[in-house]
Homo-oligomer: A and B are copies of this chain.
Amino acid sequence: MPRTTEPPRARLSDRQAETVRRLTEAAVEEVAEHRYEGLTVRGVAKRAGVAPATAYTYFASKNHLLAEVFWRRLRDLPEPDPLPGGSPADRAAGALSAVALLVADDPALSAACTTAMLADEPNVLRLRARIGLRVHERISGATDASPAALQAFELAFYGALVQAGMGHLSYLDLPDLLATTARTIFPAEETL
């Protein structure tokens, strides 16, 4: 029934869910081969064994598709342990490192997802908001530092993510970078 542009949210039938799953899966493979700039909704549809019109039923653009890939991985990420031990800095860094590494298995994929999530499209906006909320929950739950410190770290996290997405930083360096940043930002209590 979804005419177009309707995001995969309003309850999907099993059959539809399977189609969407195949599309997101195919998108990951396609981006590994053709990188972001070579990615095409039509190409993804073909690989998923689905007509282009069908793909466009669920995803309005390649950005929408990639944002959904990221969102699904984030959704499936287990919450960080409430008390995983370590300093507040390390816990905060750990909580967000996991997010940064969500799509780090393939550099092309991580770059593509980052670029996609910055797109100026309504569907992407919706997913971005959902992702932002989840990220905020994660960092808030990981430490009880001051709001200012939390905000600073959250900003730095997004900054690092974007820098990595632009290719100015490697995704694999993000955990270390986040740890260093966290230790700088959060009051050195049991750290150092």
User: Interface on A for B, CB 8 Å cutoff?
Assistant: 36-37, 115, 118, 120, 125, 128, 132, 146, 148-149, 151-152, 154-160, 162-163, 166, 168, 177, 180-181, 183-185
Contacts and interface: CB of A to CB of B under 8 A. Distances in A.
A146 B159 CA distance: 19
12 contacts: A37-B120, A115-B118, A115-B120, A118-B162, A132-B168, A146-B184, A148-B180, A152-B156, A152-B185, A154-B159, A157-B159, A159-B159
A118 B166 contact: yes
Nearest to A161: B159
A155 B160 contact: yes
A36 B153 CA distance: 29
A151 B177 CA distance: 9
Contacts of A149: 184
